[in-house]
Amino acid sequence: MAIPSHLSTLYQPQFGLLTDLYQLTMAAGYHRHRIHQRKAIFHLFYRKPPFGGQFALSAGLPLAVDLIENFRYGTEDVHYLGRLKGNDGKPIFRENFLNYLQRLRFGGNIDAIPEGEIVMPHEPILRIEATLAEAQLLETALLTIINFSTLVATKAARIREAAGEDSVLEFGLRRSQGIDGGLTATRSAYLGGCDATSNVWGGRYYGIPVKGTHAHSWVMIFREELEAFEAYAAAMPNNAILLVDTYDTLEGVQKAIQVAKHLRERGHHMLGIRLDSGDMARLSIDARRLLDEAGFPEVKIVASDSLDEYAIAKLKAQGARIDIWGIGTRLVTAHDQPALGGVYKLAAVENEAGEYEPRIKQSETAVKTSNPGKLNVRRYFTPEGQLAGSKLYNELNGPEAHQIVLSGEKTLDLSRYADNSSSLLQPVYRSGELVMDFPDLHEVRERGMRNWKKYSAVGNAGHPLSFGPAPALLAEQQRLMR
């Protein structure tokens, strides 16, 4: 089954060491006490919506599956772990545990909210049901992938919403957090609604359209700005977007118009001009006027200067005449929220009789109290297709037991929408076998944009999409604490 990811293509396909040391020490402890094969249930979820919003856009599942498919401890990995010493100078890990690692392959069950779906606080994005050792060793890597992918996809969706029908380009590779950060950000940004990327690597691996212009250095290489524009248009007559703000922006627009005329005479047309500094609202308005007066209403105006959803909204309110938004740093670094804050919590463990016992992580900070059991989310819609609400429930107790409304009105009777409801989690693995078919990234992108638009419409209408601190399954918690 093909997995639309890049991890195993780019890196040595043995990801066992992509973890924190404490995951390995816990796994070694489970092995030492002979409970490593005991089944357990963990949930991966986030507690607080990013960027001050109400929800997030799920992303990164194929990357996580790619990692699990190649979750191995090779000979060199095991030799490295065997050389790690404790404070007495002796090896941390026993030889029989290292032998176990070398034979380890994932054999559990995973259910997930598919990419492109809206996910709310405390809803399990992933549910892992596996042996203690397997589930523990996957924690860090799964969080790394899902947290960052979901965060950037959510940021992109917010930018897409602010831009409306305008084109949005992702220009962030040079400001991304490392090579893989750049590639993952490109994929997530496209999933979240960007139309294209400047990242050629991302274009190759994911089939994302690639777009780009030229830098100020191109203009500065030549003695005259007009000469630089003419030279670029001669080199790229079918891909000419001219950066006009190297010296005087409006003079640059006038020179770009001259080049556009020459291109038209040769049977080509200039795609656009780019603004990268200055008063974007005023300059875009003046540039649009000059282009229209010269007979080039089809030439697009591209903007690319520290933009995000807030800057776009402000510029639109000022009447800016910008057609295409090039978003870099503030998208790929998820500016103003550097991490999603997703967590991975134990919710149930198998006892000696082979039955699951719920587990709760308690905290004086209410939002950090975890939810026990084998959780799923059921989402309800009206006959017209509008969101009515969603509920968190424990499958160990049946779909109707200890439900907590996560969204919608607290007093709303969601049972009347039962015929228009479905559980969000879908099977990904069963007994270590991959059972999910992954749609094309372009299809996921379209689904994500539809979902974002639908849920945003509800939220913007004043309907609460989430509320309360930790929506813990309180009745079960109280029973367990007796």
* pLDDT tens for the chain, residues 1 to 482: 667 777 777 776 788 999 999 999 999 999 999 999 999 999 999 999 999 999 999 999 999 999 999 999 999 999 999 999 999 999 999 999 999 999 999 999 999 999 999 999 999 999 999 999 999 999 999 999 999 999 999 999 999 999 999 999 999 999 999 989 999 999 999 999 999 999 999 999 999 999 999 999 999 999 999 999 999 999 999 999 999 999 999 999 999 999 999 999 999 999 999 999 999 999 999 999 999 999 999 999 999 989 999 999 999 999 999 999 999 999 999 999 999 999 999 999 999 999 999 998 887 777 778 889 999 999 888 888 888 888 888 998 765 544 555 555 555 677 888 888 889 999 999 999 999 999 999 999 999 999 999 888 765 544 444 433 344 444 444 444 33
In this structure, the strands spanning 109-112 and 126-131 are antiparallel
Q: For residue 250, what are its two tokens?
A: 């409006």
Domain residue ranges in the chain: 7-154+337-481, 163-332
Contact between residue 113 and residue 153 where contact means Cβ atoms under 8 Å apart: no
Q: Write 223-232 long-range contacts (CB < 8 A, 24+).
A: 225/251, 225/252, 225/255, 226/255, 226/258, 226/259, 229/255, 229/256, 229/258, 229/259, 230/259, 230/262
> Helix 309-317 and helix 132-163: axis angle, to 10°?
10
Q: Chain centroid to CA 172: how far? A: 15
pLDDT at residue 66, as a whole number: 93
Q: What is the pLDDT of residue 416?
A: 84
Q: Is the dihedral of CA 134, 139, 140, 145 positive or negative?
A: positive
Q: How far is CA 334 from the centre of its chain?
A: 10
Considering the entire predicted model, what is its pTM?
0.92
- E strand intervals along 132-179: 167-170
Alpha carbons 240 and 259: distance in angstroms, whole number: 10
User: 398-435 burial string, b = 16+ CB within 10 Å, else e?
Assistant: eeeebbbbbbbeeeeebeebeeebebbbeebbeeeebe
Domain at 163-332, CATH class: alpha beta
Q: How far is CA 101 from CA 69, 114, 118, 391, in A?
A: 15, 30, 36, 38
Question: What phi and psi values does residue 116 have, to the nearest 5 degrees?
Answer: 85, 0
Reference 166, options 275, 316, 280; nearest CA is 316
**SS in 3 state form for 336-382?**
CCCCCCCEEEEEEEECCCCCEEECCCCCCCHHHCCCCCCEEEEEEEC
Decide if domain 7-154+337-481 falls under CATH 3.20.140.10. Answer: yes
Cα of 350 vs its chain's centroid, Å: 32
Task: Say what the pLDDT of residue 413 is.
Answer: 75
d(C-alpha 247, C-alpha 279), whole Å? 14
DSSP reduced 3-state for 71: coil
The encoded tokens of residue 292 equal: 């229209």
pLDDT (0 to 100) of residue 404: 55
pLDDT of residue 463: 46
Predicted local confidence at residue 410, as pLDDT: 53
Triad 165, 170, 171: Cα angle to 5°: 135
How far is residue 104 from each of residues 9, 99, 145, measured CA to CA in Å? 22, 9, 21
How many residues belong to the chain? 482
